[in-house]
Structure 1
Amino acid sequence: MRGILGFAVALLTTAVSLVSADDTSAALQALPKCALACLADGITHSACASNLTAACMCTDEPLQEQLTLCVTANCTVKETLVAKNITDTSCGVPVRDRGAAYDTATIVLFVIAACTVVLRLGFKLLVTRSLSADDYAVFLLILVVVPSVVFTHYGTTPNGVGRDIWTLTPQNITDFLYYFYLMAMFYFLQVMLLKLCLLLFYLRIFPSQSVRRLLWGTIVLDVVFGVVFFFLAIFQCSPISYFWTNWDGEHEGKCLNSNAIAWANAAISIALDLWMLAIPLAQLKTLNLHWKKKIGVGLMFCVGTFVTVVSILRLQALVTFGKSNNATWDNFPVSLWSTVEISVGIMCTCMPTLRLLLVRLFPVLGGGTKMGNGYYFSGGGPAASGKVRSSRNRGLRDSSSRSKHASTHPGSSVDTVPVKPTGIMRQQTFAVQFLSEDGRKSIRTRFAANNDFTRRERFTLSLYTASLFLRVSQIRWARRLRHFTFLASLHEVSPLLLRRASPPDKPTAKDSGHLSRLDR
């Protein structure tokens, strides 16, 4: 902490004293005696001895270095901080404060993350009416994040995060380190739970036994890794309170190397992130999806790489962690990137469910229509071909129980029906699903015994009935529109029809001769 004196303590006070006699007297009285002695000795051996101006003493680097060494050797940590604060104020150095920005970012990110969790759990409860293990894990994670937000808003921010440590009171510094200790402890829990959410989600969607064994092994590793670092954060100092009281050099105790703990945690976390990203990407080829949807799923998984990038940025910010003489300022990037990492990670874990919610609200976002195994007939085609074709559906399989009743109509080859290209042609395209008699009987039986339907099935049937009603209305209006279009076309060709309907001219004698020859 004493190495903080790269700031020319006494020199800046003297600079202000030349500007105003009253300010000089107040500044000199506020300076610790050890700093005054260093000031007197430093000025007599500096280039500013003959030029006692603020500009000279605020910019004389050799004088600053000499005063730094002197104050570090002769003053306590608290006296050093007081001298630094007075000299910076006297020389007009602006006060740096990023605490408000950090507090705002923390609250905004938490609100967004909490909203995604609420949407996820609400969708599961209202639509699927069941919660899986990863849903419980993400709910527990957001509960563990709440204390960190409270500690940020009421603890680290009021006590100087994002500010220079010499602008704070000794009590502010102690309180800041206490809340920082609590946040570090909760951070290790949050990282463990965040990875656990993703791993449990992978267990739910990947049925392969080999993949599931890998996932279970990764879960065990993640839990052990999180628990070990959680207890390391708690008991890294002896006594525990030495973590937030050792800054002043007036207390006795010992601590583990906090830099080594932070670096080890960050390195293992990044390695696990990369491993967890490789598992789903390697399984994409086994999914029964169109290649476009595989790309979309892959991109959704790759969004998780942003969390890894944030972890790397946080690792870079840990270079000065544990060795800083300006803890409240230098730990700002670590605190900020830790908050971003956890909040964005929560959003990423909720993305698959949010996608289902968006597709349900806006079906056009879901891409192509998912079809069952039933037989579909498609009639119509381009005017040039003049053919009517029937084909089987090539969509995704429908795993519902009703799909087994769908008829597999024979004759899936292409059928052609010639159409005469004369007169007025009107082409229509149809899509009809044929349902076997067994399927219809099954549905009628279940309608008769309505108690067999679950709430979800009754809700689905209601939605299906409403969609049929809307479809019938759409077909009726389309027929009316086609009728009006046909009348307009008929109006345009009516002169041609009248001309054809008029009696033909009487054949001439020459024509009669030709006809008589043809008759013969």
Structure 2
Amino acid sequence: MTLSNDIPNYDTSLKDYSPLRLEDHGSSITELNYIFMGASEDRRWLVLTFVCLVLALVLPVFGLHGYIKLRWERRMSTNDLVIALAGIFWLVYITCQIAACANGFGAHTAALPREFHYANELPAHNGDVTQALSFWYLTTLLHVLSSATARVAIGLASISRTAFPSRRRLVATNLIVSSTASALFFFLLLFHCSPISAFWSTNRSDVSAKCYTIELRTPWYTFLSISLAADAALSSFAVISLVQRDVGRVRRVAAGVFNAFAAGHVASSAMQIRHVQSLEDYKDLTWSATSFAIYSLIGPSLALVAANLTRIAPVAQQLAMANQLQVQELMPPQQRLRLLRPTFPPLIMLSGRDGEMDEDAALETVVDQGIARLERAAAVAGDGKRVRFA
């Protein structure tokens, strides 16, 4: 007996299916066939896969930053507070994206009201258009907020690491322009439907009359282009550090890692620009916007990782330098004198205003440490004894 003998002749297209037709067939094989055909047009699993990937990438870095703050520095600077705010926006953003997928975002809008009926089971709902689009509405708003705050955190880190006034002015202008554009676009996106609930209305034909969906194409292009230019300008500072000859190996590796995340963020912003038109298909928005949603996940996630790395790298370098000094103090005087000079430029985090690095104080500290080591080495050489310093 073949399966074709048990299944009646019917149209297998997804659009012509209805719950009544499924019940009339009364066959579990028919329902399974419908499920498998719908799965080929369902992108929920793809969006959730990228959600899991960005969670696996961001959460360890975010946790490491928190551990360093609690274990070593035990203080919060302005930049740390901005990073924490960006992390909160990002976590809520990811939560809303998961909730949107759980309610049907990624599937065709026409397929969401359908129900599946199984023996001795309650009807299984495929999704809810209202819930899916309401969470997607929040997701787009939080995407703007998380991207803007992560960019501000990276910009503040760039300002605190340089003493050049020209670069400070460039970064400040970058942050002011990009943050202003993000704020304006946030409110434009917030009130582009009147009333706001029209965005997730069940009757999708009313959206064109109550929402400026088509008119949002130019603002989306403008916002993403400004964000792309701002992120590229901030990442250029790390590129300069990477190509300089007098940069140590540790800082070169750190700049290379930062550039990798920055390049990924810029590339994801470019791909978002390519998929802006998919947001205009308001009749099937739950399915058409999935490509844009995937690239939207990548951008702020990589930016948040880069922002956390700007705070982790200096502390890791300081700990490595402190460990090197301890190793040198345990060596004989003859070997110690050959290793007095560090193998990489020092980058010391001091408790200056707002936790910024005071380069003059850092240089003075390095000089004092070098003089102290020379004095101890001379004392050990004069006494002819090995002395262990704490």
Q: Tell me, yes or no, whether TM beats 0.5.
A: yes
Structure 1 position 162 matched with structure 2 position 118: no
Q: Distance in 2 between matches of 1:133 and 1:188?
A: 21
Once the 2 structures are TM-superposed, how far is the Cα of residue 108 of structure 1 from its aligned partner? Answer: 5.2
Structure 1 position 193 matched with structure 2 position 149: yes
Once the 2 structures are TM-superposed, how far is the Cα of residue 176 of structure 1 from its aligned partner? Answer: 1.9
Task: Give the conservation status (yes or no) of the 8 Å contact 1:137–1:197.
Answer: yes
Q: Distance in 2 between matches of 1:244 and 1:95?
A: 22
Quote the residue 2:73 is aligned against. Answer: 128
Structure 1 position 106 matched with structure 2 position 72: no
Q: Distance in 1 between matches of 2:112 and 2:314?
A: 50
Quote the residue 1:235 is aligned against. Answer: 191
Structure 1 position 143 matched with structure 2 position 143: no
Q: Distance in 2 between matches of 1:367 and 1:106?
A: 38
SS in 2 for 1:160: coil
Quote the residue 1:445 is aligned against. Answer: none
Q: Distance in 1 between matches of 2:255 and 2:134?
A: 42
Letter in 1 for 2:224: A
- Report the CA distance shift for 1:246/1:225 in structure 2 as closer, same or farther (over 3 A): farther
Task: Give the conservation status (yes or no) of the 8 Å contact 2:150–2:304.
Answer: yes
Q: Distance in 2 between matches of 1:391 and 1:164?
A: 70
The equivalences for 1:121-520 within 5 A come to: 121-154=66-99, 156-169=100-113, 172-245=128-201, 248-250=204-206, 252-256=209-213, 257-282=215-240, 289-290=247-248, 292-303=249-260, 304-323=262-281, 325-355=283-313, 363=320, 369=324, 393-395=340-342, 399-400=364-365, 402-403=368-369, 405-406=371-372, 433-434=377-378, 465=390
Q: Distance in 2 between matches of 1:263 and 1:247?
A: 28
Q: Distance in 2 between matches of 1:464 and 1:285?
A: 39
Once the 2 structures are TM-superposed, how far is the Cα of residue 82 of structure 1 from its aligned partner? Answer: 6.2
Letter in 2 for 1:181: Y
Once the 2 structures are TM-superposed, how far is the Cα of residue 272 of structure 1 from its aligned partner? Answer: 1.1
Q: Distance in 1 between matches of 2:240 and 2:105?
A: 42
SS in 2 for 1:197: helix
Q: Distance in 2 between matches of 1:266 and 1:367?
A: 43
Task: Give the conservation status (yes or no) of the 8 Å contact 2:96–2:135.
Answer: yes
Once the 2 structures are TM-superposed, how far is the Cα of residue 360 of structure 1 from its aligned partner? Answer: 7.5
SS in 2 for 1:237: coil
- Report the CA distance shift for 1:435/1:236 in structure 2 as closer, same or farther (over 3 A): farther
Q: Could you list the runs of 5+ residues in structure 2 that have no partner in the other structure?
A: 23-29, 115-126, 347-362, 381-387
Which of 27, 35, 38 is the aligned partner of 1:95?
A: 38
Larger Cα-atom Rg: 1
Moved more, 178-187 or 351-360: 351-360
Once the 2 structures are TM-superposed, how far is the Cα of residue 131 of structure 1 from its aligned partner? Answer: 2.2
Quote the residue 2:123 is aligned against. Answer: none
SS in 2 for 1:163: coil
Q: Distance in 2 between matches of 1:160 and 1:229?
A: 26
Q: Distance in 2 between matches of 1:254 and 1:120?
A: 42
Letter in 2 for 1:169: P
- Report the CA distance shift for 1:277/1:358 in structure 2 as closer, same or farther (over 3 A): closer
- Report the CA distance shift for 1:359/1:242 in structure 2 as closer, same or farther (over 3 A): same
Once the 2 structures are TM-superposed, how far is the Cα of residue 145 of structure 1 from its aligned partner? Answer: 1.9
- Report the CA distance shift for 1:276/1:360 in structure 2 as closer, same or farther (over 3 A): closer
Letter in 2 for 1:94: M
Q: Distance in 1 between matches of 2:79 and 2:389?
A: 31
Once the 2 structures are TM-superposed, how far is the Cα of residue 320 of structure 1 from its aligned partner? Answer: 2.2
Q: Distance in 1 between matches of 2:191 and 2:310?
A: 38
Higher relative contact order, chain-length normalized (CA < 8 Å, sep 6+): 2
Task: Give the conservation status (yes or no) of the 8 Å contact 1:188–1:226.
Answer: yes
Once the 2 structures are TM-superposed, how far is the Cα of residue 197 of structure 1 from its aligned partner? Answer: 0.8
Task: Give the conservation status (yes or no) of the 8 Å contact 2:147–2:303.
Answer: no
- Report the CA distance shift for 1:83/1:258 in structure 2 as closer, same or farther (over 3 A): farther
SS in 2 for 1:157: helix
Letter in 1 for 2:369: S
Once the 2 structures are TM-superposed, how far is the Cα of residue 273 of structure 1 from its aligned partner? Answer: 1.3
Q: Distance in 1 between matches of 2:83 and 2:364?
A: 29
Letter in 2 for 1:167: A
Q: Distance in 2 between matches of 1:370 and 1:175?
A: 59
Deviations 1:24-76 (A, max 9, x none): 6xxxxxxxxxxxxxxxxxxxxxxxxxxxxx7xxx79xxxxxxxxxxxxxxxxx
Q: Distance in 2 between matches of 1:360 and 1:197?
A: 21
Q: Could you list the runs of 5+ residues in structure 1 that have no partner in the other structure?
A: 1-15, 25-53, 60-80, 381-389, 410-431, 437-462, 466-520
- Give the total of aligned pairs: 332
